[in-house]
Structure 1
Amino acid sequence: MNWDDLRIIAAVRDEGTYAGASARLRIDETTVGRRLARIERALGLRLFEAIDGLRRPTRQCEMVLAHVQAMATHADEIGRIGASLPGPVGRLRIASTNAVAEEVLAPRAAEFLETHPGVTLQLLTSSENVKFSRWEADLAIRLRKPDKGDFAISKLAEVRLYFFEPAAAAEREPVACVYPDELEGIPEMQFLRARRIRARCVTDNVRVIRTLIQSHRAAGVLPEHSCAPLLADRRLRATLLPKRRDVWLLVQNHLKRDAAARVTIEWVRACFQDAARG
């Protein structure tokens, strides 16, 4: 059953005529009659009888109207949910890599959601970019700036990068961890190529690289938000790269003035600022 059609039944019952229901719902009178006829065919019931120039509900119609009234009550209650919550209300889908979601957003998400009880976050994590132009996400955090798109693009952060290698000399060359060829333009890969490091492990998963580095038998580059424990490890030597990694925020255009989106964007920016401070 279409909820708009069911509302027409209640309007005809209350007003007594198609014309009255038409004026109340602000739709054409012929539309009222046509949609009522459609409901009667679907239900196999006669809903109204013409008595003394008015439309009177049949017994079966009264049974239908009891359910319509219950649905209207629930609809009103749903509409009041947002009004009962302090602050902005909305559900935002944020697309990012696993590392950003786990190490930048997640540690700070609980406090944000407690502060904004009307906001719900859905974190979409993948090493592949979501199709932002197809509305698969509301916000997206990208490690490379898109060439173009019908959405708002702004720089979110400049992330420091560290090259880690075993501090002590070893008989064997450490296992070199590099990123896939499709990421050859990123500062991490530019640095590794300049060092003429031979790739031994290829992955776009920073957790895998970090785990290998923690074995003290591997070398690789990690963003600052993924390497706090490594910087304190005296068995590792850390070199700060001269270039930083730009991080970009994509926002669907229709959300520019949305209150829930605005507080979420501010929170995402704060998450990266906190991660940069350590």
Structure 2
Amino acid sequence: MPIMASTLYRDMLNFMRNQFASIILLALLTALISVLIGHALSPDSDQLVILNGGASEMADTAEMSLQEMVQQMSPEQQQVLLKASAAGTFAGLLGNVLLVGGLLTMIRMVSSRQPTSVVRSLGLSLPILPRLLLLIFLTTLLVQLGLLLVLVPGILVAIALSLAPVITTSENLGVFKSMRLSSKLAFANLRLIAPAIMIWLAAKAAVLLLATELTMVSSLVAAVLLNGLSNVISALLLIYLYRLYMLLRDTDAEPVNP
């Protein structure tokens, strides 16, 4: 019996409805952790003054590309910009790892009818976090490189590696084996995965646009809310992909040999 996308969406929404409070709490908690880490690692106020000074000097160079603007900065300003970018990237990566690990552990516990909570899910996910950290770092790097070069390769990479976090946590497989197996499964079931990934990317873009509407809220609150909303969107995709992988495994669509 073929797997229907409508069945997967229905199962995803049912799980979301039954675990709504836990998922929202996990999304906001990981968003708060990510924002606080990013804030702690970001340049201090004195360094930001240096960077803002460079930005004001180039205010009339709106037609410059990003690369040209960076080249116009002093070495000190470039260092501050690099530090700010690295802090944001690391904080976002760590937040994603905690979200994925905690949510997939929660789904597995709920599926086996074990009592669960957000704190317990995060605690039990600790052993798999290092593996997820490497996996999500490589996936993010490959997708971003693909999107920078040409849009289509980035989307294809996102589709190919979409099942990797589910596989590595469910089957206790290594990072690269999970990525290979994910690619095989994803392209064999493109009609089920591609639309979900496209909707996820569109929703993420909508969140970025929403950021311009929260200028009246304090920056910390706005960052937590936006990151929390983004995490909820990612959580919905993870639930969908987890359910799909369980159905594929049950029907022996792709044998798994840990």
Calculate the TM-score normalised by the size of structure 2: 0.23
Structure of higher RCO (CA pairs closer than 8 Å, 6+ residues apart): 2
Calculate the TM-score normalised by the size of structure 1: 0.22
For the pair shown, the structure with the greater C-alpha radius of gyration is 1
* Structure with the bigger percentage of strand: 1
